[in-house]
């Protein structure tokens, strides 16, 4: 009987508190890529906590593919809304193929 009451209390507590995940909006004011002059699509990205990439990659990202999938998101966010430029994703893929030693 006690285990049944505990299970009911736990279920009620879970239902009342729910499952909360923090979603941050990092889309910015413009929905057009400043490099490729194309409209970007919205994407909801899970925070992956990836390692910091090389300096060469960071410089190339700013110049050639700033709106590819992000490598760093705020720690307090479980998911983040961003704009993704498909041409930036292609440019990043091409850069990584041309620079396999860079991470």
- For the chain, 103 residues long, give each residue's pLDDT as a single digit of tens: 565 554 555 555 554 444 556 888 989 899 999 999 999 999 999 887 778 889 999 999 999 999 999 888 888 888 999 999 999 999 999 999 999 877 6
> CB of 92 within 8 A of CB of 37?
no
Q: Distance between CA atoms of 79 and 97, rounded to whole angstroms? A: 28
pTM across the whole model: 0.74
**Left, alpha or beta for 49 (phi > 0: left; psi -120 to 50: alpha)?**
left
Locus of tokens 């990043």: 92
């Amino acid at each position: 009987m006690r285990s049944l009451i505990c299970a009911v209390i736990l279920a009620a507590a879970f239902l009342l508190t729910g499952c909360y995940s923090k979603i941050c909006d990092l889309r910015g004011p413009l929905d057009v890529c400043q490099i490729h002059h194309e409209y970007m699509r919205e994407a909801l990205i899970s925070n992956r906590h990836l390692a910091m990439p090389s300096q060469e990659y960071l410089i190339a990202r700013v110049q050639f593919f700033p709106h590819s999938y992000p490598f760093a998101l705020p720690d307090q966010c479980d998911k983040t809304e961003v704009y993704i430029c498909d041409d930036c994703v292609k440019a990043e893929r091409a850069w990584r193929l041309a620079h396999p030693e860079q991470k």
